[in-house]
Structure 1
Amino acid sequence: MENGRSALSDGVLIVGTGLLGTSLGLALRRAGIDVRLRDTKSETLAEAVRLGAGRPSEPGDAPAALGVVAVPPEAVAGVVADLLDAGDAEYATDVASVKAMPAEQVRARLGPAGRYVGSHPMAGREVSGPGGALPDLFEGRPWVVCPDEHTDQQAVTRALAVARLAGAAPVTMSVADHDAAVALVSHAPHLVSVLMAARLVDAPDHEIRLAGPGVSDVTRIAGGDPGLWTEILSANAAAVHDVLSDLRDDLDRTLAALASPEPARSALYQLMRSGVDGRGRLPGKHGEAHAEFVTVAVMVDDRPGQLARLFADVDAAGANVEDVRIDHSPGQPVGLVEIDVRPGTDADLRTALTERGWNVPR
């Protein structure tokens, strides 16, 4: 980390103190970096400063080692050009979730723009604003850096230093490859989640009351900022269109299988099987190979302190929790906590929790 800190010894200027900008400020401050913050909304800037993400930038500040632009895609080029033209930062990057459009617009403003390199941390939440910021938001997540033949090496070095100090795993890609990849793993999934959530708007109340963790999981990311996502989808429209076109073909085949007089079980099974195979290709924690876990379910009373006691007992049992989900039964005074652990460790955890008085259904 020393090399990263030395590359950023003149500090980092973050423009935009929403979720990503504030989270990055918190992570860099934790790493000992001087962070200056700037935002057109004074109340947003004030909240980020109050949270400890950095200090407000001042007119007399020396140029920062790197300016990090955390604004919507359509505004990136103007902010980058202003930063570099004014000498507020020696080099600049951005964290927008599309890369081709900002890069083209920066070149149109600044020419080859060797002092700018686009980047994108593959991290976020379904909430927005500095209030949702987390210092560990980028931990273990890919952070894509997209240099081209004109990019100065120092721009790349400093962008990589920011990514590493934030705890991310840097990846280098071309802007075209990046935009195609995020269309598949981020933008199209968000749109599919939105489309499924939209089915609920006019659904009868008696149907909505049956909703459980399945529909909650599928629609969770649909709660993102509609304005921001409209900009993201518009900026990466061609790549998202390609993914959705392939999805439409699969949907048409599924509809045909369901509409046949005797539902085509073979076609439906193949579709289900492809879903299992595709999910199996997703990386696991910290970028490791995907691993299947065993779920230990525990019934928990809806009383203060129960979750804390459960996790303390799990820790005392020596179990390593890989994931956890909480499903609160509607209208019931209990909830179900599902704890994912490595295969082979589940039996000991069930025994330990049962001995400590927990209801552990098999």
Structure 2
Amino acid sequence: MRSALVIGTGLIGTSSALALAARGVTVHLRDHDPEQARTAAVLGAGTDEEPEGPVDLVIVAVPPAHVAAGLADAMRRGLGRGYLDVASVKGGPRRELEALGLDPAHLSRYIGTHPMSGREKSGPLAATGDLFEGRPWVLTPTRDTDTEVLNLALELVSHCRAVPVVMDADGHDRAVALVSHMPHLVSNLVAARLEHAEEAAVRLCGQGIRDVTRIAASDPGMWIDILSANPGPVADLLSEVATDLDETVRALRALQSSDEAKRREGVHGIQDVLRRGNAGQVRVPGKHGSAPRAYETVAVLISDQPGQLARIFADAGMAGVNIEDVRIEHATGQQAGLVQLMVEQKAAPVLSAALRERGWTIRQ
């Protein structure tokens, strides 16, 4: 790949352009808002000047509702040798594109893709050239997809240092409904409970509520586009969640009963939902996509001062312990917090002893 045209210079389009430009590909940028394309160009993502002839790859990075029209326009104008989109749904845009009556030769030059990466922020200023590094990038070729186009898509994934995953388009849409779209709505439903909550209650927010509501900070307009393109699978999943919620509410009400038999039913119901949650959580892939592993947590009290995290990591390194993961829980009303260091179980006592020896306070 020597040249590319990125249509849509939001977070995903600009991030892919930054990655391609950094690897020597000549990238042209286009957006319905010329100012946004100029911003991406200033960031080093390419040039907002039109290409003089067909490029090797056209990347359509627009909302799902506009993907088919954007692709059809680019194909009819002969803007590239290959075409792909990066929308978060795949089945609908493909069917819409087929319904536009394009020549089969055009359709063979297209492949639907979806990089499984993003941020709560949007726009070119939120873009980074390493956004996709180590993340899955789904490719949905059909039996009619031209081999050259598939290879161009694989080259794009390689330049972005992502991990290619081949899936059926409708299977992809069901999968992202489960692991992305439905959880996003559930996160928003939980966060909505905080909107009118008493300030005294909100001040008690800890890491748990922050984890659950983090993705609720995303742009609502963007998510309306996403959910409008994949409503069926998301609605099916939310219906199942609603059934579970109804059963959980009944179990909690039973725990309030003075009838011992009803209380036992309530306990059984709550135990069941917690057990099922445990069983589902352990299926979430672990580090580097490998099978999940159980780590021991070493909690260290730190002050909110420059260099504290660097000191902890340096001291852990001197102790010969690899930090597998890390979380920070900030104390309410104090300039302090807990750093939770996840390590191999056998390394936990070694790390705790080493950090205590170096003056750190360990919380059990």
Superposition TM-score, scaled by structure 2 size? 0.92
Q: Over alpha carbons, which structure has the higher Rg?
A: 2
What is the rounded CA distance, in whole Å, between the counterparts of 1:111 and 1:249 in structure 2?
46
Match for residue 85 of structure 2?
A: 94
What is the rounded CA distance, in whole Å, between the counterparts of 1:11 and 1:319 in structure 2?
45
Determine if contact 2:28/2:51 at 8 Å carries over to the other structure. no
Instruction: Measure how far apart 1:313 and its partner are.
Output: 2.6
Determine if contact 1:84/1:90 at 8 Å carries over to the other structure. no
How high is the sequence identity, in percent, across the aligned residues? 49
1:193 aligns with one of 187, 201, 213: 187
2:342 aligns with one of 340, 343, 346: 340
What is the rounded CA distance, in whole Å, between the counterparts of 2:342 and 2:89 in structure 1?
34
Match for residue 4 of structure 1?
A: none
Give the partner amino acid of 2:34.
Answer: S
1:68-147 matches, cutoff 5 A: 68-109=59-100, 110-112=102-104, 113-147=107-141
Structure 2, gaps ≥5 residues long = 258-262
Change (3 A) 1:319 1:35: farther
- Aligned-CA RMSD value: 1.6
Instruction: Measure how far apart 1:59 and its partner are.
Output: 4.3
State which drifts further: 177-186 or 293-302. Answer: 293-302
Task: Check if 1:299 corresponds to 2:305.
Answer: no
Give the partner amino acid of 2:138.
Answer: V
Q: What SS does the aligned partner of 1:137 have?
A: coil
Structure 1, gaps ≥5 residues long = 1-7
Determine if contact 1:120/1:145 at 8 Å carries over to the other structure. yes
Match for residue 162 of structure 1?
A: 156
Match for residue 31 of structure 1?
A: 23
Q: Which runs of 4+ in 1 moved over 6 A?
A: none
Determine if contact 1:328/1:336 at 8 Å carries over to the other structure. yes
Give the partner amino acid of 1:252.
Answer: D
Change (3 A) 1:256 1:179: same
Q: What SS does the aligned partner of 1:17 have?
A: coil
Q: What SS does the aligned partner of 1:336 have?
A: strand
Instruction: Measure how far apart 1:317 and its partner are.
Output: 3.1
Number of matched pairs: 353
Give the partner amino acid of 1:34.
Answer: T
Determine if contact 2:15/2:129 at 8 Å carries over to the other structure. yes
Match for residue 285 of structure 1?
A: 287
State which drifts further: 86-95 or 254-263. Answer: 254-263
What is the rounded CA distance, in whole Å, between the counterparts of 1:47 and 1:353 in structure 2?
46
Determine if contact 1:298/1:361 at 8 Å carries over to the other structure. yes
What is the rounded CA distance, in whole Å, between the counterparts of 1:317 and 1:174 in structure 2?
47
Determine if contact 1:81/1:106 at 8 Å carries over to the other structure. yes
What is the rounded CA distance, in whole Å, between the counterparts of 1:147 and 1:340 in structure 2?
39
